[in-house]
A and B are shown apart, each in its own frame.
Chain A
């Protein structure tokens, strides 16, 4: 955690219990239902989804073309969606190539393909990442230990409430013959955000 806490953890926990109790009184939330919904959400929304999408795209050129043309429709082929139980957002998949690299951010808040990557890491939501990655993306990637070839152009995609982005990393060399599951295991959440190569 950042140490920038306005309230202490105990104070905030007490306030959340207080608000939850008020909502329970009004019949707007049911604590047991909240727990179940949270558990189901966390089981469903995980970076494993995004990794699977990438592995399939690496193996199946037809799927890759459909994914890049219309992410939401292609996801259905894998039994996935961008809804996450709430309103569905448009998915735009951006493909890394030998001379073009992509990075995603939400400069205004924290928009993120949560259905494909799970809850976002704290750094993604930090003012530091949001302010800097659009001004000095190469320096930011270097802070993640990712020294991108200076000849490779970087595009930073700023997500919005309606449109979320996912990076399609380049398939690593020496991975011929690997099946979808083994390829998916090579893909990291940071690679899907664009702050790692894969």
Chain B
């Protein structure tokens, strides 16, 4: 069974938008998500396969509506709860709104 991330060959997506002189990160929070993820994998809290799996488990609509590092934030949060590092309530205490 394929999941929503398995888009190879799928039709209907728009033209490719290339951004001139694109920076590595568009916002500070994206750089932090990137750095936090590396730190957590480096410490063995989870591994790369678990991380990818957590991204790929996202509900299709949520996956398609999320920017790249938003998907990462979602996966990190999912894994932190799954690994018992933090509780779901603690994570959601920071969420102002979702949708």
- Residue positions of A touching B, CB distance < 8 A: 1-2, 4-7, 9, 11-20, 22-23, 26, 28-29, 33-35, 37-38, 41-42, 85-87, 105, 107-110, 118-119, 121-123, 125-132, 134-135, 140, 143-144, 158, 161
Known: A122-B22, A127-B13. A19 touches B42 (CB 8 A): no
Question: Is chain A's binding surface mostly helix, strand, loop or mixed?
Answer: helix
1/0 contact string of B34-51 vs chain A (CB within 8 Å): 111011111101011100
CB pair A28–B39 under 8 Å, yes or no, is yes
Query: Contacting A15 at CB < 8 Å: which of B6, B52, B80, B95?
Result: B95
Taking CB atoms, residues of chain B closer than 8 Å to A119 are 24-25, 34
- Name, among A15, A35, A161, the residue most crowded by chain B CB atoms within 10 Å (CB to CB): A15
Query: Are A29 and B39 also in contact (CB < 8 A) when A16-B32, A108-B8, A123-B16 are?
Result: yes
A33-B39 CB under 8 A given contacts A4-B67, A122-B22: yes
> Could you give 6 example pairs across A and B, Cβ below 8 Å?
A6-B66, A16-B36, A86-B48, A107-B6, A107-B8, A123-B18
B82 at the interface (CB under 8 A from A): no
Since A132-B16, A140-B16 are in contact, a sample of 19 more A-B pairs with Cβ atoms closer than 8 Å, ordered by chain A residue number, is: A9-B27, A11-B97, A12-B27, A12-B70, A13-B29, A14-B96, A16-B33, A17-B29, A20-B32, A22-B90, A37-B38, A38-B31, A38-B35, A108-B8, A125-B68, A126-B17, A131-B9, A131-B10, A131-B11
Binding site for A on B (CB under 8 A): 5-11, 13-19, 22, 24-29, 31-36, 38-43, 45, 47-49, 52, 55-56, 62, 64-70, 73, 76-77, 80, 85-86, 90-91, 93-99
